[in-house]
């Protein structure tokens, strides 16, 4: 195990924390931790955007070090008067980050390195390695030699920045970088949920004890949850005893810590309800029939037993989409955009919360947050995960629309009075219109702040995505299992804000059952096309309730986030982006649902904290009931994690964060040649068999080393163009098979090839010609498995002339 590397990366993130505090404290001056929970991503975003601009001219370790030193100097200048942060909240931030970081490092150390199966690890590793080899941005495309990447590489750039600053090779940077992105996200949701929970309404929280649940109540509720889930699922008792004990420890804490820890749990460990419900279905015919009738993906059985558990299944129950959740994604181990962008999305949430809490009279601060903070977050997330860019603009819109100050007060007084409306309806419509205008301005400013990325990637790549409408709708069962934890938590929380009597709760319960029956029984067809209503019927009321309660000041900023997530869930039921890489809305659901989970974990922490609370105005029965509900949801959402981690660590061999572990263990002959290539400086071009069958063992050398190959995975047909990809595939075939040395030489010169890789895939696919005796070509490295030919372009040119 490479402990020194892990320690260096942990220290790197602590430097980001300290350096980001002066800015974070200005962003969230009234937060208990003064914004410390988002200081790390804030620092990383600033450094990355600066690197994005400078990198168009020069990029490398010294450039990154120089920019980072400049950022540290700026931070020191901002902190010249001191930054006051209470020791306890700051220590909590460090502790939460450290626990999450160490947890995921352990997960990665027990994994088998980087491989192409079941994910995008080859793509992600290749991008990081290409960046570390490159001397300017965008990096050279490791699967399309001679061309620049036309893919959102911002998160990989952040990884490369960390690797340069810690002096880490890419093969060892992959895992601690992934752990850092995970830990920053967990820490961010912890801090923001705790900050939101410090403001409750109607006096239902006791300031003296923070609404802590008494130990006896917590033990009883956790015991009931433990027994119910144990009997329902049949998993080993120890897997449920730990989360039950976790509930007891958490609900007896203050409301801030309770909300923060439960939000961190919801993001960092919780799963959807697929696993516990399918386990229950195997023990109950009634549940099995209900799951089958409600509908899940056709390739998934409604039942499962603990012995037949497969960690993959829970992320694939939506018929036309991927319903990943964070624990699945980070266990799978891709260093992919939708996982790296969460920390930036959380930072955007922090900007929205800061705007929401800024008084009406602080006009300059409100302007700075809207047209400074949001565009910076938008620019960063555009480069990290372009799919999330609209969500930042949407957060800006909702923050303005649902905050207390009228948007018109952003304008100078001599202008604002022109927009005053006597009608309440007109004033409300004006509020939303101005919020849309703000979103448009944020979008434009975000594009401008990330212009190097826009110019070199968004405007340069092949556009294979087109808007489409009315996809195959979600089935009731799949939708409820994917979002059920949040749907139940938010429904109970919002109901608690308005239901003051048992009659009110009974009415809410009947309404919920009515919505389920409507979604189950009504399947409208318009013009021959099925129009889904499941999301509208189940998530729509949450959106409407949260919106109305926020405008009535019955809920706080958590209501804004409930609206944001529910809006995205409903949106993808009706519109999506069709692309050549996937079927119908498959990719849209994947990318959007990942954002929904991240957005909803923060208000979920606040909702859990409010439901599990002891308050003077609440009856003992409501306290017990709310605590029991939280306990059941937490324990149920932990079943997947217990089973998945048991299987993950049970199959581990040696502990290492070396990305080359898989190839070293499984393909030593190829590993030796890859190690040889890995030591070569720069980015000389190579030829290898194109990856026409993705997610299989193809293009290992270019993917693991960052040395560009002429034609890599078939993904490049989407990134560049189908015609260009096809031409390169044809060229590669000629290079391997032609008996005409002149034709081979012409193509090797055309693509400026330095190395020709002949491994198992190449031998299987092509009738590889003898090349070593041809002018300009010699055997550079050979194992019983792989031969690497070296091409002398000078000798090749002389031969051709």
What is the average per-residue pLDDT within 349-355?
A: 98
Chain centre to alpha carbon of residue 23: 24
Cα 60 to Cα 135, 670, 682: the distances in Å are 6, 29, 11
Dig out the tokens for 555 from the structure.
């809920």
Q: Is 262 exposed, middle or buried (0-12, 13-18, 19+ CB in 10 A)?
A: buried
Task: Say whether pLDDT at 219 is over 80.
Answer: yes
d(CA 390, CA 442): 10
If you write DSSP's letter for every residue of 398-422 in order, what string do you get? HHHHHSSS-GGGGS-HHHHGGG--S
Of residues 580 and 732, which shows the higher confidence score? 732
d(CA 459, CA 447): 12
d(CA 147, CA 75): 37
Residue 64 pLDDT level (bands cut at 50, 70, 90): very high
Beta bridge partners of 788: 757, 781
Give the 3-state DSSP-derived string for 459-508, with helices as H, strands as E and coil as C.
Answer: CCCCCCEEEEECCCCCCHHHHHHHHHHHHHHHHHHHHHHHCCCHHHHHHH
Under 8 Å between Cβ of 346 and 598: yes
Task: Output DSSP code: residue 457.
Answer: I
What radius of gyration, in Å, describes the C-alpha atoms of the chain? 27
Cα 594 to Cα 323, 336, 484: the distances in Å are 8, 12, 15
d(CA 304, CA 317): 13
Residue 709 pLDDT level (bands cut at 50, 70, 90): very high
Task: Say whether pLDDT at 208 is over 60.
Answer: no
Is the link from the previous residue into 138 a cis peptide, with omega within 30 of 0?
yes
d(CA 215, CA 610): 17
Residue 791 pLDDT level (bands cut at 50, 70, 90): very high
For 691, phi and psi rounded to 5 degrees? Answer: -85, 70
β 777-782/787-791 pair status: antiparallel
The H-or-E segment that residue 757 falls in is: strand 753-758
Domain boundaries, the chain: 198-337+467-650, 341-461, 667-800
Predicted local confidence at residue 418, as pLDDT: 60
As a whole number, the mean pLDDT across the chain is: 93
Query: What is the CATH number that goes with domain 667-800?
Result: 3.40.50
d(CA 699, CA 691): 6
d(CA 728, CA 722): 10
Residue 29 pLDDT level (bands cut at 50, 70, 90): very high
Share of the chain above pLDDT 70, in %: 96
Q: Which of 44-58, 210-224, 736-750 has the lowest mean pLDDT?
A: 210-224
Q: Could you tell me which residues come within 8 angstroms of residue 631 by beta carbon, excluding any fewer than 6 positions away? A: 221, 222, 224, 225, 244, 247, 251, 612
Q: Residue 145: which of 736, 797, 731 has the closest Cα?
A: 731
Predicted local confidence at residue 207, as pLDDT: 41
Task: Say whether pLDDT at 480 is over 80.
Answer: yes
CB atoms within 10 A of CB 199: 15
Task: Say whether pLDDT at 466 is over 90.
Answer: no
Chain centre to alpha carbon of residue 76: 31
Cα 583 to Cα 376, 573, 574, 589: the distances in Å are 33, 15, 15, 11
Task: Output DSSP code: residue 768.
Answer: P
Chain centre to alpha carbon of residue 762: 35
pTM as predicted: 0.96
If you write DSSP's letter for every residue of 664-677 in order, what string do you get? HHH-HHHHHHHHHH
Q: Which of 414-423, 473-482, 545-554, 736-745 has the lowest mean pLDDT?
A: 414-423
Predicted local confidence at residue 579, as pLDDT: 80
Q: Could you tell me which residues come within 8 angstroms of residue 231 by beta carbon, excluding any fewer than 6 positions away? A: none
pLDDT in tens, 144-186: 999 999 999 999 999 999 999 999 999 999 999 999 999 999 9
For 344, phi and psi rounded to 5 degrees? Answer: -75, -40
β 753-758/787-791 pair status: antiparallel
Task: Say whether pLDDT at 434 is over 60.
Answer: yes
CB atoms within 10 A of CB 474: 28
């Amino acid at each position: 195990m490479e402990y020194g590397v892990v320690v260096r990366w942990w220290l790197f993130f602590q430097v980001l924390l300290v350096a980001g505090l002066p800015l974070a404290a200005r962003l969230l001056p009234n937060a208990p931790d003064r914004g410390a929970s988002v200081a790390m991503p804030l620092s990383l975003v600033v450094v990355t955007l600066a690197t994005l601009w400078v990198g168009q001219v020069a990029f490398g370790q010294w450039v990154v070090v120089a920019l980072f030193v400049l950022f540290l100097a700026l931070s020191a200048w901002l902190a010249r008067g001191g930054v006051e942060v209470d020791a306890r909240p700051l220590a909590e931030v460090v502790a939460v980050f450290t626990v999450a970081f160490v947890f995921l490092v352990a997960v990665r150390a027990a994994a088998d390195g980087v491989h192409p199966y079941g994910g995008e690890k080859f793509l992600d590793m290749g991008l990081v390695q290409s960046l570390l080899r490159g001397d300017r941005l965008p990096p050279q495309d490791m699967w399309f030699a001679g061309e620049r990447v036309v893919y959102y590489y911002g998160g990989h750039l952040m990884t490369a920045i960390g690797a340069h600053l810690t002096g880490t090779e890419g093969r060892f940077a992959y895992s601690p970088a992934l752990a850092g992105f995970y830990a920053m996200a967990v820490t961010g949701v912890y801090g923001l949920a705790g900050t939101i929970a410090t403001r409750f309404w109607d006096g239902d929280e006791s300031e003296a004890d923070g609404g802590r649940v008494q130990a006896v109540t917590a033990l009883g509720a956790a015991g009931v949850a433990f027994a119910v889930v144990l009997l329902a699922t049949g998993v080993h008792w120890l897997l449920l005893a730990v989360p039950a004990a976790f509930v007891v420890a958490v609900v007896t804490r203050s409301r801030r810590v309770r909300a923060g820890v439960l939000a961190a749990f919801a993001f960092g460990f919780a799963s959807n309800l697929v696993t516990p419900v399918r386990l229950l279905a195997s023990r109950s015919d009634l549940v099995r029939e209900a799951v089958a009738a409600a509908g899940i993906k056709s390739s998934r059985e409604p039942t499962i037993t603990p012995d037949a558990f497969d960690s993959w299944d829970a992320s694939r129950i939506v018929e036309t989409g991927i319903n990943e959740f964070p624990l699945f994604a980070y266990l799978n181990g891709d260093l992919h955009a939708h996982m790296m962008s969460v920390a930036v999305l959380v930072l955007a949430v922090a900007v929205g919360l800061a705007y929401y809490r800024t008084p009406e009279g602080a006009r300059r601060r409100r302007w700075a947050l809207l047209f400074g903070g949001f565009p910076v977050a938008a620019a960063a997330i555009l480069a990290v995960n372009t799919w999330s860019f609209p969500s930042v603009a949407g957060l800006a819109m909702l923050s303005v629309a649902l905050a207390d100050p009228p948007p018109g007060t952003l304008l100078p007084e001599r202008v604002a009075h022109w927009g005053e409306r006597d009608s309440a309806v007109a004033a409300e419509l004006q509020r939303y219109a101005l919020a849309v205008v703000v979103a448009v301005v944020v979008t434009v400013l975000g594009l401008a702040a990330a212009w190097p990325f826009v110019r070199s990637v968004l405007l340069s790549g092949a556009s294979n995505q087109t808007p489409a409408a009315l996809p195959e709708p979600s089935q009731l069962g799949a939708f409820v299992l994917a979002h059920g934890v949040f749907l139940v938590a938010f429904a109970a929380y919002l109901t608690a804000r308005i239901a003051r009597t048992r009659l009110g709760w009974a009415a809410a319960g009947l309404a919920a059952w009515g919505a389920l029956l409507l979604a189950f029984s009504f399947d409208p067809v318009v013009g021959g096309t099925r129009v889904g209503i499941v999301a509208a019927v189940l998530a729509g009321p949450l959106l409407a309730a949260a919106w109305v309660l926020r405008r009535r000041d019955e809920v706080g900023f958590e209501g804004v986030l409930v609206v944001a997530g529910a809006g995205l869930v409903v949106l993808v039921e009706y519109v999506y982006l069709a692309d050549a890489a996937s079927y119908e809305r498959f990719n849209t659901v994947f990318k959007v649902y990942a954002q929904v989970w991240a957005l909803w974990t923060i208000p979920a922490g606040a909702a859990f904290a409010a439901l599990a609370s002891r308050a003077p105005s609440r009856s003992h029965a409501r306290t017990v009931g709310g605590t029991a509900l939280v306990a059941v949801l937490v324990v149920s959402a932990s079943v997947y994690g217990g089973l998945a981690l048991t299987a993950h660590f049970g199959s581990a061999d040696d502990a290492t964060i070396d990305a080359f572990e898989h190839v070293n263990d499984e393909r030593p002959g190829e590993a030796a040649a890859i190690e040889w290539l890995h030591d070569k400086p720069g980015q000389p071009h190579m030829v290898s068999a194109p990856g026409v069958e993705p997610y299989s063992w193809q293009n290992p050398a270019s993917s693991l080393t960052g040395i560009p190959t002429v034609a890599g995975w078939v993904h490049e047909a989407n990134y560049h163009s189908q015609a260009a990809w096809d031409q390169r595939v044809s060229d590669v075939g000629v290079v391997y098979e032609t008996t005409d040395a002149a034709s081979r030489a012409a193509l090797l010169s055309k693509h400026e090839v330095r190395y020709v890789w002949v491994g198992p895939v190449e031998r299987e696919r092509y009738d590889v010609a003898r090349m070593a005796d041809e002018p300009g070509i010699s055997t550079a490295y050979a194992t019983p498995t792989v031969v690497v030919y070296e091409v002398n372009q000078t000798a090749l040119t002389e031969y051709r002339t």
